[in-house]
A = this chain, B = another copy of it.
């Protein structure tokens, strides 16, 4: 057989026709989301004021193993998918490792990340339902950009609440969203009840995803013909992101490879959850035994130091409660941490898989270690990674170096979720040696846990 190419592309006709719904196969399904008022499991009618109906149905679906991707969404996917699966030959050489390193590269579209996979689906269902527009939050900015592109494509209005410290660090992100027609408001703002309250309680708040979510939900439920869209955490988002793993699985099959280790960064968890399909299906059904690693920042360690219990998805307590690994909805991540992955909770699906041992390991890493890996990767592989993605690169490099020591020729697959073009402030901080690491103390964490609601299960 000839050498495996640097980039393995599927043809457009091989783009999966359906998303994979892991809930239909999980040994233990996730605990139901609870209505924040009644504390009873949410129903479709609870969710419909917030999400469009079709997405609310996807959110609750735990029976259909596959959910068809609408043709309009598949056609949009064809503008930037299938994304390449890349053999990191140059990185392998630089590390002098016997490991085979592959990454699924999702940064090749203008949103700069995998977020577009779910954004276009969510905008499509909103358009189909005849809505006027959407609201959302964005942290590092990838999700807001992706949803702005998707709403621009379908002619929907979009209001984005952007985490304040990120909006200040990334004026150009804001400009991209506006170029696609979105309006962008730094959060916490004075435009919502929730925002005003948080500004009053924490006058110097630099914002958090949790707060921005509260603001976006408030505007969605109080505006005519408007719904809310979220870029991570939710079951529906993880569902849409399975396109990543399904494509990666097909591409690896073409070249006769199967991953021993699957690595993804985890903020809300949807990218890793998406990359894990179909390998998690193999694992659940006993067909294969890949090892899964979630990588999170030491500054926001939901899986490695969080608690598994019910919590609000937002700071303002307007969203349903979800059972998940969480640092407490009142946990405010340090603004010294660059980029995303600053969310207090974690996808319920990933949380349950972690609790049950299917997601094998969570590992937290400091940001200076992450940027060292980012620069090393950029120099040899050419791509300047997003800080979020570089968390996965850090662990992929570490695992490849273990292979060098042990002599094992493992196959490593990681998700390169996005590019760092809008994160140069963080790179400049790292380049100049002024970047610091922040690890919350146990007391910091206790303060966060104290904000979790008390729910009897």
A12's contact among B6, B176, B178, B382, by CB below 8 Å, is which? B6
The residue of chain B having its C-beta at the shortest distance from the C-beta of A80 within the complex is B382
Chain B residues with Cβ below 8 Å from A80 are: 382
Which single residue of chain B is at the shortest CB-CB distance from A382?
Answer: B79
Q: Which of A1-43 contact B (CB under 8 A)?
A: 2, 5-7, 9, 11-13
Q: Which of A11, A171, A424 has the most CB of B within 10 A?
A: A424
Min CB distance A164 to B, Å, is 19
**Is A381 in the interface zone, CB < 8 Å from B?**
yes
Per-residue CB contact flags for chain A residues 163-206 toward chain B (1 = under 8 Å, else 0) read 00000000110011011110000000000000000000000000
Please, which residues of chain B bring their CB within 8 A of the CB of A78? 5-7
Query: Which B residues touch A419, using CB under 8 A?
Result: 110
B6 and A382 within 8 A (CB): no
Q: Check if B110 sits within 8 Å of A379, measured CB to CB.
A: no
Instruction: Tell whether A401 is near chain B: CB-to-CB under 8 Å.
Output: no
A427 near B: Cβ within 8 Å? yes
- Tell me, rounded to whole Å, the shortest Cβ–Cβ distance linking A251 to chain B: 13
Minimum distance in angstroms from A78 CB to a CB of chain B:
4
**Cα–Cα, bound, A39→B169 (Å):** 52
Chain B residues with Cβ under 8 A from A152's Cβ? 378-379
Beyond the given A6-B78, A90-B153, A179-B378, please list 6 additional residue pairs across the A-B interface where CB-CB is below 8 A. A7-B79, A79-B381, A108-B108, A172-B425, A175-B425, A180-B378
Whether A298 sits at the interface, judged by CB under 8 Å, is no
Query: Which of B153, B179, B431 meets A175, CB within 8 Å?
Result: B431
State whether B6 touches A9 (Cβ < 8 A).
Answer: no
Question: Does chain B have a CB within 8 A of A392?
Answer: no
Give complex CA distance A380, B191 in Å.
31
Knowing A6-B78, A380-B153 touch, does A431 contact B109 (C-beta < 8 A)?
A: no
Q: Does any Cβ of B come within 8 Å of A149's Cβ? A: yes
Residue of B nearest to A426 (CB): B175
A116 CA to B171 CA in the complex, in Å? 27
Residue of B nearest to A419 (CB): B110
Would B172 and A379 count as touching, CB distance under 8 A? no
Q: Can you name 29 A-B residue pairings with CB atoms under 8 Å?
A: A5-B78, A7-B78, A7-B79, A76-B382, A79-B90, A79-B381, A80-B382, A90-B153, A108-B108, A109-B382, A109-B383, A110-B382, A110-B384, A110-B421, A116-B382, A153-B379, A153-B382, A175-B424, A175-B428, A175-B431, A176-B421, A178-B428, A178-B431, A179-B375, A179-B384, A179-B431, A180-B379, A421-B421, A421-B422
Most chain B beta carbons < 10 A, residue from A76, A175, A380: A175
A427:B79 contact, CB within 8 angstroms: no
- Interface readout for A125-152 with B: 1 if CB under 8 Å, 0 if not? 0000000000000000000000001001
In whole angstroms, what is the CA distance A171 to B427 when docked? 12
| Chain B residue, CB-CB nearest to A78 | B6
Query: 1/0 contact trace for A412-438 toward B, CB 8 Å?
Result: 000000010110110110010000000
A424 to B152, CA, bound (A): 18
Please tell me which one of the listed residues B11, B110, B179, B425 contacts residue A427 in the complex, with CB atoms under 8 A apart.
B179
A421-B172 contact in complex given A9-B9, A79-B90, A153-B379, C-beta closer than 8 Å: yes
